[in-house]
Chain A
Amino acid sequence: MITIENLTKKFGKVTAVEGLTFQVKEGEVFGFLGPNGAGKTTTIRMLCCLISKTSGEATIGDYHIGKADDSLQIRRMIGLIPDNVGLYDDLTASENLDFYGKLYECPEGPRRENIERFLKMLDLWERKDTRAGSFSKGMKQKLALARALVHEPKILFMDEPTANLDPESAKTVRDFILEVKKQGRTIFLNTHNLDEAQRVCDRIGIIKKKLLTIGTPEQLRESLSKPKTEIRLAQVTETMLSTLRKLIPNKIEVSDNKLLIDVTDPDKENPAIIAAIASTGGQVREVTQLAPTLEDVYLQIVKETK
């Protein structure tokens, strides 16, 4: 659906995005992660034909960004939720949507239906005749979601849609994203929120000017940090440690009466470790398998490129 090859954007001397190459498949939720100033917004703006590329190629469907004739076609296919919602405060919720529906050439009937459907889905139907300016942040974000969908785009670009939202509103937005995915739309989601990325994205790309890594959340977690087993004991003894060191050459960290052991295959190694501890008279109180989080992966990757 989206193919990006060697895409680069320079603002004067500043290179915002360099040599991006990746693809987003149809129907996929793609998460674009990166620190502030990493080039996430710049990438979305290039893909939405809002700013020109400096070099490289990108296609949305069969259309090329940067080609004058194609950009109108691309804009018809996509919906955008920018980082600033940009609603018209003096217009009501339904007027905001109606304006965009008309701009996207939705015929009157389907336009009305869509406005009603999306406002109802997002719990805004009761407030349809209220000025958008009086809405809370969460409501505005939801209205911006409805606005981006009113013309039923194939691809939805979202720039940090849950930033600054309270947990409940953020959840509503996330649930809605999953709902939109069910309808078969492709979603390109910029976010800082790792937990969110993990929950809603099929694949994640981490960017810091260049694309650092890309994969499913599981692949990313597995690719980097190894799993660890944490064992809490009544007491840690020297004999216990030397027995364990003979059994497994992996790194063992000791703190108070806890052991933190790097493992490669927990299912096989854990029972052996516990048996070894028991053989030295150790009393196991608690065993916890620590899986690396996406946060670990993210921090590690972003740090490595400093």
Chain B
Amino acid sequence: MRISKAWIVATKDMRVFLRRKSANYSLVLFPLIVSVGLPLVLRFVGARQGGLSSTRLPILMNSFSFFFLIGAALLPTVLASYSLVGEKIEKSLEPLLAAPITDSELLLGKSIAAFIPPVGAIYISSIVFMVLANLVTHNTLGYLYFPNWAIGLILLLLTPLSAILSIEWCVIVSSRASDARAAQMQGLFIALPLLAIYVASEVGAISLNTSTLLIISAVILVADIILFFLSTKTFQREEILTKWT
């Protein structure tokens, strides 16, 4: 396994991706809504006279942090399904597979390409979110809420773990899908469990404190490892060429 080979594929895929306008929108739109939209919500719903109290506000802000995690599961599906199904549509797999690159190098390259742009977008938007959220809430709270342990865990641990999960899942569904859209649709299912957790926290069934987040991380890590083996098993040269095209 040579990382340099994977990197060649990754940079190619990212370059192709950046030239596709429609694909770019999703990468810009979601982070924009989350990073600017959520602080606006805080501003108009929470931090005003007669709004949420300084005890309710942190709960809302905490659950908003969770949006980044959902983004981390959703955004890579757009890229992963493109970079996997896209090759199938352009019929470019055959010359690619004839080149001296191993299956795992190719899979790693595609995964890196689906990982870096969304995770980058999430990190940038999370910084914007934290700054704006602090701005609109520090009068009410009397202190700067972000950064804190919860969002630190979400960004540094859970975000990469769920992005990986999402990519692995996409590899598995892409092997069956005939077009990028279908793969994307099926890819979105990976965000469902996270949405369920979010809803559970909203209705008060669980609280998204650091220990809950650590437990979720551990569960996703295990899922990552299981899906790693399943996805590498799916990603076999002859299978890809004869079944995927």
Q: Considering the complex, which residues of chain B in the window 208-245 have a beta carbon less than 8 Å from any beta carbon of chain A? A: 237-238, 241-242
Asked if B99 contacts A50 (CB within 8 A), the reply is no
Q: Considering the complex, which residues of chain A in the window 53-95 have a beta carbon less than 8 Å from any beta carbon of chain B? A: 72, 75-76, 78, 80-82, 84-91, 95
- Contacts of A49 on B, CB cut-off 8 Å? 98
- Answer yes or no: A179 CB below 8 A from chain B CBs: no
Asked if B238 contacts A50 (CB within 8 A), the reply is yes
- Contacts of B19 on A, CB cut-off 8 Å? 90
Asked if A50 contacts B94 (CB within 8 A), the reply is yes
Q: Knowing A86-B92, A86-B93 are in contact, say whether A76-B100 is a contact too (CB < 8 A).
A: yes
- Contacts of B98 on A, CB cut-off 8 Å? 48-50, 75, 78, 80, 82
Q: Considering the complex, which residues of chain A in the window 84-141 have a beta carbon less than 8 Å from any beta carbon of chain B? A: 84-91, 95, 99-100, 102-105
Q: Knowing A103-B99, A103-B101 are in contact, say whether A90-B20 is a contact too (CB < 8 A).
A: yes
A103–B19 Cα distance when bound, in Å, is 21
Q: Knowing A72-B102, A90-B16, A90-B19 are in contact, say whether A80-B242 is a contact too (CB < 8 A).
A: no
- Contacts of A86 on B, CB cut-off 8 Å? 90-96
B81 to chain A, nearest CB (A): 16
Asked if A95 contacts B15 (CB within 8 A), the reply is yes
Residue among B5, B15, B90, B98 with the highest chain A CB neighbour number at 10 A:
B98
A241–B75 Cα distance when bound, in Å, is 86
Question: Whose C-beta in chain A lies nearest to the C-beta of B245?
Answer: A84
- Contacts of A50 on B, CB cut-off 8 Å? 94, 97-98, 237-238, 241
- Contacts of B238 on A, CB cut-off 8 Å? 50-52
- Contacts of A103 on B, CB cut-off 8 Å? 5, 8-9, 96, 99-101
A75–B98 Cα distance when bound, in Å, is 6
- Answer yes or no: A258 CB below 8 A from chain B CBs: no
Number of interface residues of B (CB under 8 A): 25
Q: Of the candidates A11, A82, A90, A105, which one forms a contact with B95 in the assembled complex, judged by CB atoms under 8 Å apart?
A: A82
Q: Of the candidates B12, B20, B90, B94, which one forms a contact with A80 in the assembled complex, judged by CB atoms under 8 Å apart?
A: B94
A11–B5 Cα distance when bound, in Å, is 31
Asked if A84 contacts B20 (CB within 8 A), the reply is no
Q: Knowing A80-B94, A82-B94 are in contact, say whether A72-B8 is a contact too (CB < 8 A).
A: no
- Contacts of A45 on B, CB cut-off 8 Å? 94, 241
A91–B93 Cα distance when bound, in Å, is 15
A78–B15 Cα distance when bound, in Å, is 27
Asked if B92 contacts A75 (CB within 8 A), the reply is no
- Contacts of B242 on A, CB cut-off 8 Å? 11, 51
A180–B16 Cα distance when bound, in Å, is 31
- Contacts of A88 on B, CB cut-off 8 Å? 12, 16, 90, 92
- Contacts of B91 on A, CB cut-off 8 Å? 82, 84-86
- Answer yes or no: A173 CB below 8 A from chain B CBs: no
- Answer yes or no: A147 CB below 8 A from chain B CBs: yes
B242 to chain A, nearest CB (A): 6
Asked if B15 contacts A102 (CB within 8 A), the reply is no
- Answer yes or no: A148 CB below 8 A from chain B CBs: yes
B92 to chain A, nearest CB (A): 4
A75–B20 Cα distance when bound, in Å, is 31
- Told that A80-B95, A95-B15, A103-B8 touch, could you supply 11 new A-B pairs with CB distance under 8 A? A11-B242, A51-B237, A51-B242, A75-B100, A82-B94, A88-B16, A88-B90, A91-B16, A103-B99, A104-B99, A105-B100
Pull 26 A–B residue pairs with CB atoms less than 8 Å apart, ordered by A. A50-B94, A50-B97, A50-B98, A50-B238, A51-B237, A51-B242, A52-B238, A72-B102, A75-B98, A75-B99, A75-B100, A86-B92, A86-B93, A86-B94, A88-B12, A90-B16, A91-B12, A91-B16, A95-B15, A102-B8, A103-B100, A103-B101, A104-B100, A105-B100, A144-B95, A148-B95
3 tightest A-B contacts by CB? A86-B92, A84-B91, A82-B94
Binding site for A on B (CB under 8 A): 5, 8-9, 12, 15-16, 19-20, 90-102, 237-238, 241-242
